[in-house]
């Protein structure tokens, strides 16, 4: 259950006031915790301005087909992948099927997180890569996905050091 609070009031105009020059932005990381119209506007604005739009559609929703081409990296767990693609995801093979569906819609890169089974990365410019998870004794998985996504964005893969074209 999501309690929107202040996030539920973030409007497109607020973003436009805060970011009047998208070309100065390198990466935008979004989840479905602000109004959908704002999320969609930010993804499109980031893409048009040359910034990389990283999107984790959580809570899970269907994504309009025309928005995929504006997403640099779509980061989903098994449930989100199923909601978006209709493909049940439970292992690296089904994750690759879902990732291929998403790439086919136009996203540049897809990461499917698989909990203790690791994660899978697929991109238009890179082959599928399954990364096993570290073995840990999980006490509480609250915000595990958020932590993963934040670390990914902060790592700034080498190719991100050059502006998106």
pTM value > 0.95? no
Write out the DSSP string of 25-73.
Answer: --EEEEESSS-HHHHHHHHHHHHHHT-EEEEE--S-----GGGGGG-SE
CATH number at residue 127: 3.40.1190.20
Range of the domain at 112: 21-157
Map residue 57 onto helix, strand or coil: coil
- The pLDDT value given to residue 92: 95
Query: Which residue ranges in the chain fall short of pLDDT 70?
Result: 1-3, 156-165
User: Is residue 149 domain-resident?
Assistant: yes
- The pLDDT value given to residue 121: 95
User: Is residue 28 domain-resident?
Assistant: yes
User: Is residue 7 domain-resident?
Assistant: no
- The pLDDT value given to residue 1: 54
Q: Is 146 a catalytic residue?
A: yes
User: Is residue 37 domain-resident?
Assistant: yes
User: Is residue 165 domain-resident?
Assistant: no
Number of domains observed in the structure of the chain: 1
User: Is residue 71 domain-resident?
Assistant: yes
Q: Convert the pLDDT of each residue in 70-79 to its tens digit.
A: 999 999 999 9
- The pLDDT value given to residue 16: 86
User: Is residue 125 domain-resident?
Assistant: yes
- The pLDDT value given to residue 22: 87
- The pLDDT value given to residue 162: 56
User: Is residue 32 domain-resident?
Assistant: yes
Q: Report helix angle 92-105 to 78-85, nearest 10.
A: 50
């Amino acid at each position: 259950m999501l309690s929107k609070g202040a996030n539920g009031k973030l409007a497109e105009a607020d973003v436009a006031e805060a970011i009047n020059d998208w070309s100065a932005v390198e990466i935008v990381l979004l989840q479905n915790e602000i109004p959908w119209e704002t999320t969609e506007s930010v993804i499109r604005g980031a893409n048009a301005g040359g910034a990389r739009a990283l999107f984790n559609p959580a809570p899970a929703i269907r994504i309009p087909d025309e928005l995929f081409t504006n997403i640099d990296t779509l980061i989903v767990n098994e449930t989100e992948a199923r909601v978006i693609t209709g493909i049940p995801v439970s292992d690296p093979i089904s994750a690759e099927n879902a990732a291929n569906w998403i790439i086919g819609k136009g996203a540049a890169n897809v990461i499917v997180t698989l909990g203790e089974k690791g994660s899978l990365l697929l991109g238009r410019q890179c082959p599928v890569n399954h990364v096993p998870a570290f073995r840990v004794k999980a006490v509480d998985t609250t915000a595990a996905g958020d932590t993963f996504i934040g670390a990914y964005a902060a790592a700034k893969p080498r190719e991100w050091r050059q502006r998106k074209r």
